[in-house]
Chains A and B, each alone.
Chain A
Amino acid sequence: MARPRSFDVRQQTGFTFVAICCFVLLYLPIILLVVYSFNAGTSIAIWEGFSWQWYEAAWNNEKVQEATILSLIIASSASLVATSVAVMAALATTRTGKFKGSGLVFAMINQPLMIPEIVTAVALLLMFAMIKVSTGYTGIWYLIIAHSAFCIPFAYMPIRARLQGMDLNLEQAAADLYGQPWQVFRRVTLPQLWPGILSGAMLSFVVSLDDVVITEFVKSAGQDTLPTYMLGQLRRAITPEVNAISTALLAISIAMVVAFYLLSKSKEK
């Protein structure tokens, strides 16, 4: 259907200019970052020719390797936990009758989106400190638990949207055809829910991979994820190695977003 011609925002004075400015602000820094990751010199501001050396340096840097492995472990574990919890939460908030306080439950599930991250970070730091004192455990699980928690709303949103968009008659039809509740879930609900689950899992993976604030507060001494390692590097002499790592992260994120887009397109049919 054609849009009515009577109002077109492009006719507003300066609209195109403002729009171009926004895009420049959004993408120019990223382009510069990517360009300088190929710098042959040691400066992040003076171009001295093309080279892969900083990618090689980052690849061979043991600290980067460790941080990458830790980041991947945490992101996949958090994504797995958050997505499982989110599936259950989404089922509970879309497949039950309307109950008193369902709005409150919805808000509580999305708490990490509404409370400033720094508050959550400090709260987690304090609570984990108590546990550390009483148990002496300083391992990776604090980070996995923290990341799982703040990833839940990111996994919950697409799964809930998918469940709400599903035809309730399908589940009723399955129940009508002698499907017991768990069979209905496994044979009808779950197969249709997959695109939502994958979207949720990928979103939480990316969000976890990217997190600095909570990780910085919760991590034990010597633990570093890629973002906190990079933050640490910035306190010393900055080399284009940081650019190279950022560019690699950017590539992973873009790959994820493209996959996410393709999946959400396929679910629309």
Chain B
Amino acid sequence: MIEIAGLSKIFGVGASAFTALENINVTIRENEFFTLLGPSGCGKTTLLRSIAGFVNPSSGSLTVNGEDMLSKPPYARPVNTVFQNYALFPHMTVAENIGFGLEMLGRPKSEIKSVVADMLDLVQMAPMADRMTSQISGGQQQRVALARALAPKPKVLLLDEPLSALDFKLRKEMQIELKRLQSETGITFVFVTHDQEEALTMSDRIAVMKSGRILQIGGPKDIYDHPAERFVADFIGDTNFVSADLVTEANGIAQVRLPSGKTVEARSPAGGAQSGSVTIAVRPEHAVLSEPGALIDGRLKNIVYFGTDTHYHIESDGQPTFVVRRQNQPDAVEHHQVGDTVGISFNSGTAQVLRD
């Protein structure tokens, strides 16, 4: 279990000071696949490097299983890192790379040999054991980096965008592979990525970061269906933003009045939105086209066919273009035409009130 409380990191001093992390509070549970998600420069890598020990936070506390980490150098922390560029030792073989951590710990040769053999099997690299790291492909280097970090059986494995250098297909494979390794080894994974899809498919929980702060922590479904802030809703998946007025708000449920005058039930964020005029978020696949006179009426501007689904772009007064996504069925007949006046409906409770 990693407990981080009040963690801040300020680089530089005076006018050029830059706050990379601002009052980070998070508890990462045992055996959890925890993802730090955010755009570049949001502080996710700084937070990861603080856990590894390569960054000294300016204030706050960081413990692993109750043990203080900030007073320890990187080599005394029970965490291992998979680096973004893998950082494999070019003068050692695959097997020597994997055994390096155990060797530094002073484990007996026989133990190192058997653990390395297990790790090679785990990442399916046994035939490559005696190759130099420059003689294997990017995906294989990735596996070796993973095996090297797992071999000393750390309490926590830190992964710094380890899949970003791989091509699309390999990345998909490795996503599944990583998830399998995590459940097989039972090690806590802290995974850094800017790829929202990667975060959604792999994580138990996700922390969305922006400008050195954690905006929201939750499970993938939670984050996707109920983003608390506009940034989260915008960063993860596609979202329609609709301005509305808050009528009532209680126990996480809000009634909002849309510009059409109709009132609909929406989820309100933790802590409440607490203001009269709010923005609500509706996912394109949570909305359906209907007859005019629905929650929102507008003119159909565009129909875009994507193969698996079709996107309808609807313009209405004073609102940004609203997108409705409909999954395509075989031999379905298109009833709508560009220029039609249509209505947009969504179920009560699917819209999310955002904290701006």
> Could you tell me which A residues sit within 8 Å of B by CB distance?
167, 169-170, 172-180, 183, 187-188, 191-192, 269
Residues of A within 8 A of B74 (CB): 172, 175-176
Kindly provide the distance from the CB of A200 to the nearest chain B CB, expressed in whole angstroms. Answer: 19
Given known pairs A174-B89, A192-B91, the reply for A179 and B75 (CB within 8 Å) is: yes
> Could you tell me which B residues sit within 8 Å of A by CB distance?
52-54, 73-76, 79-81, 83, 85, 87-91, 100-101, 104-105, 134, 148-149, 152
A183 to B73, CA, bound (A): 14
Residues of A within 8 A of B90 (CB): 170, 192
User: What are 14 A-B contacts with C-beta separation under 8 Å?
Assistant: A170-B90, A172-B81, A173-B81, A173-B87, A174-B104, A176-B53, A176-B54, A176-B75, A177-B104, A177-B152, A178-B104, A179-B75, A179-B100, A180-B75
Tell me whether B73 and A175 are in contact (CB under 8 A).
yes
Residues of A within 8 A of B53 (CB): 175-176
Tell me whether A177 and B80 are in contact (CB under 8 A).
yes
A184 to B76, CA, bound (A): 13
Residues of A within 8 A of B52 (CB): 176
Tell me whether A176 and B80 are in contact (CB under 8 A).
yes
Tell me whether B100 and A170 are in contact (CB under 8 A).
no
A169 to B134, CA, bound (A): 16
Residues of A within 8 A of B81 (CB): 172-173, 176
Residues of B within 8 A of A173 (CB): 81, 83, 87-89
A229 to B81, CA, bound (A): 60
Q: Pick the contact of A269 from B85, B104, B134 — CB < 8 Å?
A: B134
Q: Pick the contact of B87 from A167, A178, A179 — CB < 8 Å?
A: A167
Residues of A within 8 A of B73 (CB): 175
Tell me whether A178 and B85 are in contact (CB under 8 A).
no
Residues of B within 8 A of A179 (CB): 75, 100, 104
Q: With a 10 A CB-CB cut-off, give which of B54, B88, B104, B152 has the most chain A CB atoms.
A: B104
Given known pairs A175-B73, A177-B104, the reply for A169 and B91 (CB within 8 Å) is: no
Q: Nearest chain-B residue to A169 (Cβ)? A: B87
Kindly provide the distance from the CB of A195 to the nearest chain B CB, expressed in whole angstroms. Answer: 11
A177 to B149, CA, bound (A): 7
Q: Pick the contact of B100 from A167, A169, A177, A192 — CB < 8 Å?
A: A177
A204 to B7, CA, bound (A): 50
A149 to B91, CA, bound (A): 32
Residues of A within 8 A of B54 (CB): 172, 176
Residues of B within 8 A of A192 (CB): 90-91
Tell me whether A178 and B101 are in contact (CB under 8 A).
yes
Residues of B within 8 A of A177 (CB): 75, 80, 100-101, 104, 148-149, 152
